[in-house]
């Protein structure tokens, strides 16, 4: 698995390979998105928002 890191000074995005014992559950818990996993209504709204924005971007090209 790859992990994204962003340099806060330059904004540069890099990727590193995670150790085999890396705990993805802890990453989700720290990210602040853990509560979204089981929130069906919020996920539906989020999906609709993404589809709307992606559709608008596609139409502009």
pLDDT at residue 17 in the model: 93
Average pLDDT, the chain: 87
Block residue for tokens 């994204």:
4
Name the pLDDT band for 24 (thresholds 50, 70, 90): confident
28, pLDDT greater than 80: no
- In the chain, what is the greatest distance between 2 CA atoms, to the nearest angstrom? 44
CA 53 to each of CA 39, 43, 44, 61: distance values in angstroms, whole numbers, following the listed order: 21, 15, 14, 13
54, pLDDT greater than 90: yes
* Percent of the chain surpassing pLDDT 70: 98
């Amino acid at each position: 698995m790859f992990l994204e890191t962003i340099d806060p000074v330059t904004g540069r995005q890099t990727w590193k390979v995670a150790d085999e014992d890396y705990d993805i559950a802890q990453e989700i818990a720290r990210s602040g998105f853990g509560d979204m996993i089981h929130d069906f209504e919020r996920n539906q709204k989020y999906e609709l928002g993404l589809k709307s924005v992606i559709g608008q971007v596609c139409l502009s090209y």
